[in-house]
Amino acid sequence: MDTPRHRLASMEAEFIRSLSAGGPYPSGSDLRAMRATSQLLRAKRVRTMARAWPELAGVLGNGLAERVTDVLAGTPLSPDDHAVQDGLVVARHLEAVGPIPDSLTLRMLSVRLRYRRKQGLLVQWSRPALGFAYLRESGRLICGLRVAGLPLLSLSIRVGRPPRSARSSRHVG
C-alpha cells in the first residue's frame, strides 16, 4: 500500500541520492542550490573518507580530492560506515590500476577481516574471519585472523625477494 508517509520517505531518499551522486535532481529544484549542496556533500565525503583511510591520503597526496571524486562519481552514499565503504571502493580502484603500497594492502586486509558485504553494503562482521594478503613491496605473505574478544592475530612470512619495481615505486598516481 502506497501511503503518503511511504511516498514522502521515497521522495526524501531520492532527493538525498541525487544530492550525494551530483544529480540528476528532482524536477522543479533550484539547480544552482542543488549543485552547491552537492559540492559541499562531496567535499565532506572526501574528508570523512580520508580520516577513515589515512593510507589513501598518503598514496594520493594532493590529488586525493580529485581522484576520490572521480572514482566515487555517481555512487550514492551508503547509510552506514560510508567512509569505510568509500575508501574500499577507491582502494580497489587503485589496486586495479597498478601496484599499491603495502600499507594500503594491509588496510584492505583489515577491512576484509572486520566487514562483510550484505545486500551491496558493508556490515560489521562478528564471526571469526581469516584473510591473506601479499605485500608486494616487502615480499611478504600476511595471514590475519580476527576472533571476537581477541586482538587481531597475524603471521608474516617472507616468500621471496620483493620485485625491483616495488622497491623503487611507493605511490600510485
pLDDT digits (tens, 9 = 90+) for 43-77: 888 999 999 999 999 999 999 999 998 898 877 77
Cell triple for 13? 531518499
pTM of the full predicted structure? 0.78
Q: Is the residue at 173 inside a domain?
A: no
In a domain, 147, yes or no: yes
**Better pLDDT: 167 or 93:** 93
Domain, as residue range, for 40: 4-168
- The whole-number pLDDT of residue 54 equals 94
Q: How many domains does the chain have?
A: 1
C-alpha separations of 93 from 31, 41, 76 in Å? 31, 21, 17
**Does 113 map to a domain?**
yes
Q: H helices within 27-139, ranges in order? A: 31-52, 54-60, 64-72, 82-97, 102-114
Is 87 part of a structural domain of the chain? yes
Q: Is residue 30 part of a domain?
A: yes
